Structure 1
Amino acid sequence: MSHLTYTEAAVVGLFQGVAELFPVSSLGHSVLIPALVGGRWARDLNVSTPESPYLAFIVGLHVATALALLVFFWRDWLRIIGGFLSSLRDRRIETPDQRLAWLIIVATIPVGIVGLFAEHAFRTILGKPVPAAVFLTLNGVVLYAGERLRRRESRAADRAVAASVGTTATDLAVESDRRLARLGFGRAATIGAAEILALLPGISRSGVTMVAGLLRGLSHEDAARFSFLLATPVILAAGLLKIPDLAGPLGNGIHGQVLVGSALSGVGAYASVRFLTRYFETRTLTPFAVYCVLAGLGSLIWLGVG
């Protein structure tokens, strides 16, 4: 018997693709939506159950999300990978592309280590509707606090980015990467370590890394870009680790649903990153902070009434 309907797969796939990049927590929504709908959705779509096929499904969708990011940033990744390979060949880190490649590697190490050993504990203990609603509310508070507490350096960087609006997208990307390459390894590691909080359902990976970037003096555009670049290898690795589960017993009866969900997840992720890279050239995290607080508190009230 199928553990996942095509309707469930389509809705969850689209939400995952969008919410993974918007600073609103894809895991939090993956936990809350089934609980709020109730009925079969609440039974089928539960990430906290042991050997959950739903968890394997939503983490497997990460492959589609990561592929969408790779497609969108393909020119940048060619430069970054080229910089990494040339730094190994020359045994030096000199160019912006070489430096950015190593900054990304250093920044992804903390969440990679913690996620490998602690993801199961976070999911089974906290992957339930009420904790997810609480953390979604806290995510909104974090986003708002990040906007209020960001440095003068970050505000000045925003003004500089706004003055360059009208430049071609390729030139903007290259300039952004050059600015990011000037980050120190310590600052990059601090921003990357913020991704650990995204193991909590309701805390957004892109949101917390953007806030960490803003507090380290980055503009909204550069903070968002660094967040998306950092997310790509982490999301891809998480998805690839779950593919064997989907190929085994947990995937029995849901292979078609996985394909549907993955297709919609990829489309949603590509549309999201295309929108957000332009949005953060001139706008802030505040609307997302308001949404998360209202959605989190609303979910708590609904679940309490239920």
Structure 2
Amino acid sequence: MHHHLSWLEAGVVGAVQGVAELFPVSSLGHSVLIPAVVGGSWARDLDVRSAESPYLAFIVGLHVATALALLVYFWRDWVRIVRGLVSSIARREVADADQRLAWLLVLGTVPVGIVGLVGEHFFRTELARPVPTAVFLMVNGVVLLGVERGRRTDREHRDVEYVDERVSGVESDHRIVRTSVLRSVAIGATQILALAPGISRSGVATTGGMLAGLTREDAARFSFLLATPVILAAGALKVGDLTGPLGDGIRPQVLFGSLLSGVGAYLSVRFLTRYLAGRSLRPFGAYCLAAGAACLVWFAVR
């Protein structure tokens, strides 16, 4: 059976997913809402709830490209983190910042990993409809605006410039590892909320980190590091579908969309690590509220 996925559909969804996965605006939410807003063949071809559609496998395949972009951007950090994990296990110690960060990331990804394996089908089939997704997108906006409203101005880190990413990354990690294990697990567990389309993984993890006492840029960095293994694992579990019957007739378009997704994700994380050093999440919160409301109006009048 050959499925249909046009080059335009693959390109638009791929580019949007790459950017929206790291911007706190929900990539899955956009993947549900864009086809619903456009309607017609887009709504038929791009339905994550359909068991017959390759769209879900396509979306998850895009996540692999996103995760690879994160690995490329943070490669020096992941070398340190993996080395820290290996040395910690070998020596049975947690003696330095790299070893502690490695374990905080491992423990922080456990809750969303378990819930994702058990509940992904429920979240996708019950919640991935246009109206609930638009509502969740507005909720995401309220969360972003709310955490900024209750937030004091970031302390001495407010005007930090990322002049040397290697130095700033190490310094950020030393601040992150002061977070308790319980709080780190709680920050990681916020990603469970992002299984609902419209709730941003990076958004809830960043706001969770801010509520736990991290500066905005440290919380965003921690959210990017937490997201990488989760996104990669989810993609690895589903991307095999594209090598089977679900991928028939659409593999070139999938590769095209994945390329755009990877490039978009790399440029996004590069931008956000600088932007969030001294600016707020309010513009993203306002966008989510406006986009969610506009979608609801569109669905009501169409």
Asked whether the two chains share a fold, i.e. TM above 0.5, the reply is yes
Q: Deviations over 1:161-211 (max 9, x none)?
A: 135436422211110011111111100001001000000000000000011
Partner secondary structure for residue 202 of structure 2: helix
1:49 aligns with 2:50: yes
Residue correspondence of structure 1 range 137-216 to structure 2 within 5 A: 137-150=138-151, 152=152, 155=153, 158-165=154-161, 167-216=163-212
How many residues of Structure 1 are paired with residues of Structure 2 in the alignment? 301
- TM-score, L = length of structure 1: 0.96
Letter of the structure 1 residue corresponding to residue 56 of structure 2: L
Q: Which of 267, 273, 279 is 1:271 aligned to?
A: 267
Match of residue 89 from structure 1? 90
Residue correspondence of structure 1 range 52-91 to structure 2 within 5 A: 52-91=53-92
* Runs ≥4 residues deviating over 6 A: none
The 1-side partners of 2:75 and 2:157 are apart by: 22
The 2-side partners of 1:167 and 1:274 are apart by: 12
1:252 aligns with 2:253: no
Residue correspondence of structure 1 range 236-247 to structure 2 within 5 A: 236-247=232-243
The 1-side partners of 2:15 and 2:163 are apart by: 32
The 2-side partners of 1:173 and 1:128 are apart by: 39
Q: Give structure 1 stretches of 5+ with no counterpart.
A: none
Partner secondary structure for residue 156 of structure 2: helix
Q: Deviations over 1:129-186 (max 9, x none)?
A: 1111010011000111111234x5xx4xx23213543642221111001111111110
Distance 1:24 1:35, change over 3 A: same
Q: Which of 259, 272, 297 is 2:293 aligned to?
A: 297
Match of residue 7 from structure 2? 6
Residues 159 and 278, structure 2, Cα contact 8 Å, conserved in 1: no
1:130 aligns with 2:126: no
Match of residue 40 from structure 2? 39
C-alpha deviation, 1:225, in angstroms: 0.0
Partner secondary structure for residue 162 of structure 1: coil
Letter of the structure 2 residue corresponding to residue 124 of structure 1: T
Across the aligned residues of Structure 1 and Structure 2, the Cα RMSD in angstroms comes to 1.1
Residues 162 and 274, structure 2, Cα contact 8 Å, conserved in 1: no
Between the aligned residues of both structures, percent identity stands at 64
The 2-side partners of 1:293 and 1:271 are apart by: 24
Partner secondary structure for residue 5 of structure 2: coil
Letter of the structure 2 residue corresponding to residue 114 of structure 1: V
The 2-side partners of 1:122 and 1:166 are apart by: 38
C-alpha deviation, 1:101, in angstroms: 0.2
C-alpha deviation, 1:35, in angstroms: 0.6
Match of residue 225 from structure 1? 221
